[in-house]
Structure 1
């Protein structure tokens, strides 16, 4: 999960740097193309060619359709909102994930998990400071992204029980690539050398983020994985301050500390259950 946090922060930087330079669909296309090349090489290196196949094609298709919608909205949000606000709104994902996982996967939503999620969401509200002015279209888009990602995370949890992480990544690239290519043709332009650098960063970190996420979900419950993922918010807040001169407010510190409390609470309860 620490690999996931680092990857998503670097991905956000690459996305922000390409804002206004290339269309969102074109960024998604090159991201998928680079990812497909890397995954193919990794699978070839294992010499386990069964990783190119799956018996759960319908679930892969459903997951990747929802995930693609979420990805597009996420890149749009990165262009319109401060990085910390995008991540903060995105962190409603654990709430939706916990509810969906409880219904579809039968995971037990314990009191400690619920309290950890509530603490995280309180931290998000402190950072965002919601008001009528803040409920704009960009914020609603990112909230929609959170729901899409929650569905995607639950599907990944189900797939991870039978599928290798490389298979999940391969299917993601193969299924999403033709769609984003068709949509990118309307406003196509060849990237410059600097843009290629950012596109490569996006391609690599998007892949590493999902690989780490799939591995984490294969070893523990999806709700705990999402709780740890809250660490992304203070990390991206620092990035926004240092690289993009975004405001560094006391509310960011307070909200991050409350979320950290939730993370420690969840991890300590997990450790106790493992030791017993």
Structure 2
């Protein structure tokens, strides 16, 4: 097959890919997108609830409730007593590392939320996928090319716009969000490795169990008894928002390719800005909006390049 023929065949395939989807495919994609939007909405409500509760209770206590209620709900949701096999893992050490990555992400994110606006923390967390792409080379052997490295650098410029290092307007709690973003990258990379061998349901259970167990000795030292039923209800709801959000995320990826879903993660900025204004009367500053635009733009370009590379690596039939 000649080079020109191969290009023509690839062009034909690309055109075919651009055709309208079948009703079943379209329905699946719309369902996956809806699940993602619902998941990031739940994550936004989780962060809003955590910020609200942290004004009244120790942040570490809120973190403990988030994972303990998540773990208890997951036990009943997955009926573990009938499906004990989902807890089996071929990589227990990596499961623990992943769980601690999620725990540290939550701890530092909740601590940052105590002092920062919701829009600030989520904007910095948006840089997580950029860091994952940068680390995928040495960790997973998935090296980024020149164009993707350019997008990564531009994305981190967006982080600098938000954090404004060296300027008087920098709040010290921004460093907590940066640490949370780094911990999230560890969580994301280990998740990608574990999904090849372990059950997704089991990963959800193990992450809740490990985090709850790790935080129990800590929560004893900081415990403050909630003073109202409403506070108790909000504390218990954190596990639902976090656990169910991650479950929706998993279900979405089970029916729709990740590149199709990924752009809709950025809809979280809309939820966070809206909830920040409604609950706390917060209005994002100009630098946050500008930095978010740069980071989101870089992330979308990375997704575009990923889809282009996937298409280029697809086998072309001989003609």
Q: Could you state the TM-score of these two structures normalised by the residue count of structure 1?
A: 0.84
In structure 2, what is the equivalent of residue 28 of structure 1? 63
Q: 3-state DSSP class of the match of 2:240?
A: helix
The superposition leaves residues 111-130 of structure 1 with CA deviations (integer Å, 9 ceiling, x where unpaired) of 55445545544444444455
Instruction: Please point out which of 41, 46, 50 is paired with 2:76.
Output: 41
In structure 1, what is the equivalent of residue 281 of structure 2? 245
Deviation at residue 258 of structure 1 after TM alignment: 4.1
How far apart in 2 are the matches of 1:138 and 1:215?
Answer: 34
Q: Is the 8 A contact 2:40 2:245 kept in 1?
A: yes
Are 1:64 and 2:99 counterparts?
Answer: yes
The superposition leaves residues 226-247 of structure 1 with CA deviations (integer Å, 9 ceiling, x where unpaired) of 7754443343123222321112
In structure 2, what is the equivalent of residue 202 of structure 1? 238
Alignment size in residue pairs: 275
Deviation at residue 3 of structure 1 after TM alignment: 3.8
In structure 2, what is the equivalent of residue 12 of structure 1? 47
Instruction: Please list, as runs of the form range in 1=range in 2, the aligned pairs for 1:247-262 lying within 5 A after superposition.
Output: 247-262=283-298
How far apart in 1 are the matches of 2:93 and 2:236?
Answer: 30
Q: 3-state DSSP class of the match of 1:44?
A: coil
Deviation at residue 80 of structure 1 after TM alignment: 1.1
Structure 1 or 2, whichever has the larger Rg, is: 2
Q: Name whichever of 182-191 and 244-253 sits farther off.
A: 244-253
Over the aligned positions, Cα root-mean-square deviation in angstroms equals 3.1
**Cα 1:225–1:157, aligned 2, differ >3 Å: closer, same or farther?**
farther
Instruction: Please point out which of 129, 152, 155 is paired with 2:190.
Output: 155
Are 1:235 and 2:257 counterparts?
Answer: no
How far apart in 1 are the matches of 2:243 and 2:192?
Answer: 17
How far apart in 2 are the matches of 1:269 and 1:252?
Answer: 26
Q: Is the 8 A contact 1:240 1:246 kept in 2?
A: yes
The superposition leaves residues 188-210 of structure 1 with CA deviations (integer Å, 9 ceiling, x where unpaired) of 23332111222233111111233
How far apart in 2 are the matches of 1:181 and 1:198?
Answer: 19
Deviation at residue 85 of structure 1 after TM alignment: 1.3
How far apart in 2 are the matches of 1:72 and 1:3?
Answer: 23
**Cα 1:14–1:156, aligned 2, differ >3 Å: closer, same or farther?**
same
In structure 2, what is the equivalent of residue 186 of structure 1? 221
In structure 2, what is the equivalent of residue 167 of structure 1? 202
How far apart in 1 are the matches of 2:188 and 2:247?
Answer: 12
**Cα 1:253–1:85, aligned 2, differ >3 Å: closer, same or farther?**
closer
Q: Name whichever of 120-129 and 94-103 sits farther off.
A: 120-129
**Cα 1:48–1:102, aligned 2, differ >3 Å: closer, same or farther?**
same
How far apart in 2 are the matches of 1:63 and 1:190?
Answer: 30
How far apart in 2 are the matches of 1:212 and 1:57?
Answer: 24
Are 1:78 and 2:113 counterparts?
Answer: yes
**Cα 1:45–1:180, aligned 2, differ >3 Å: closer, same or farther?**
closer
Q: Unpaired runs of 5+ in structure 1?
A: none
In structure 1, what is the equivalent of residue 181 of structure 2? 146
**Cα 1:138–1:125, aligned 2, differ >3 Å: closer, same or farther?**
same
